[in-house]
Amino acid sequence: MPFKLRLLQFFRPLLRAFGMSDTASNSPESLFFPNLPTNVNGYVLQVSADLKVQKNMFRVKKVFLLKQLSQTSQHEYFTAVVEHPDGRDRFVSFERSGRHPSSEPQPKAPLNGVKKVFSKSDSALAGTTATQNIHSSEPPPQPEPIVVESPDPISPPVPKKRNILHRASASVSSALSVSSSSLSSPSASLSNSNSRNSSGVASLDSCFRAGEALDIVRVHPQLAQHPKDQIMGTLSLESPGLRPVYLHELAVLAQTIHNSNSCYRLFSSNCYWYAGMMMDVLGRRVNSKMVLAPKSWILVLENSHGDWKGLITVYHAAPEGDVIDVLADFEGNLSKFEADIQAYYEEQDKGEQRLKEAEAAKEEAEAAKEEAEAAKEEERRLKEEERRLKEEERRLKEEAEAALKSERLASAAREKELLEQLRLLQAAK
């Protein structure tokens, strides 16, 4: 990886914490497809927000169970192929990546500076317990040595190194014998095999620390996260007669499985269990089964789902009762999730309706105001017209009076002139 990219990756969490990271790299096309890996609880919140705002519905075409053969832990994850309106499929993985960082113990001061360390060969299976960096798209790190710190002075003394290693190796040997016996005796009863495997897994689990599981969602450009990842099985959701499955349903399913068992245990509730439970519950819901990928018989052991290196079976198909219980919880959670979305839509519709009614009332009020103003203006115009008519009437009256006065004066003048002429005539006679 280029130094600049490593530097950016190192400082990105700090930049995001102070709100300084670039928005372009962290602004996805949709909250359904985040740029960075996200824990399932946060992803469900993002999906809920996206559904409420944009009302996106992304149908799932197929789901796959994949194994990372190139990694020591042989991590398994569940990937969905999602149909997108732009014509390009999206690939979304749901996986249990290890223990949550908050469940990791704080380092203690060693007694007399002495630490007891398992060798890497003794702890190869513990690779899945190392929490993967959820802000990186790189392959999960190789397993680190498991360090057993010396206890505090008040704690019981730590067993000698050979005792610890003996307990772990004995448990591994027990599990190996269980796996080999189940492989060499295919005619043995399933109940006896499961009983032996369960006891072996329980003894192995007791050797390693449990913690809060870190279940995340990743979006990647191809079906597999890494080129050498092996497809273990496929479940097609496009077959005729199958009800459509949407991405938000897988998000709720992933959260339900997380809540059903949020404790990470190396040999039971691990990445194999999480991915397998996703496939089992979904298959039961759509009444279909995963189709196993064709494999060469030489690779059957190494590539078997739930097996580590083909030697130890660390995951068995969940009991039918567990699958039914998780499915029932999922149906209830999905109903609540969709009811919340529907309630939001209805409230939004009511809000829009109230807004429309308010706008209509406002328009009516404005129309009434305009009508009142028009009536007021008409009244003012009528009053002005009345005033003008009265003024015109007064003017006409004055003109009539002036004309009458003028006529009277003219009549008097003519009468006077006639009288003068009559006087002159009489004087002339």
Structural domain boundaries in the chain: 1-27, 31-318
**What does the pLDDT look like over 343-352, one tens digit per residue?**
999 998 898 8
Q: Is the dihedral of CA 271, 277, 280, 282 positive or negative?
A: negative
* Whether pLDDT at 175 is above 50: no
* Whether pLDDT at 166 is above 80: no
Q: Cα–Cα distance between 133 and 142 in angstroms, integer?
A: 12
Which of 33-42, 95-104, 108-117, 143-152 shows the lowest per-residue confidence on average (mean pLDDT)? 143-152
What pLDDT does residue 206 have? 61
Q: How far is CA 25 from CA 8, 16, 110, 327, in A?
A: 11, 11, 43, 36
Those residues whose C-beta lies under 8 Å from the C-beta of residue 162, and which sit 6 or more positions away, are: none
Q: 222, 265, 257, 225: which is closest to 140 by C-alpha?
A: 225
* Whether pLDDT at 87 is above 80: yes
Query: Chain-wide mean pLDDT for the chain?
Result: 74
Which of 189-203, 252-266, 316-330 shows the lowest per-residue confidence on average (mean pLDDT)? 189-203
pTM: 0.60
Q: 62, 59, 127, 122: which is closest to 279 by C-alpha?
A: 62
What pLDDT does residue 304 have? 55
* Whether pLDDT at 140 is above 50: no
Q: What is the mean pLDDT of residues 263-282?
A: 90
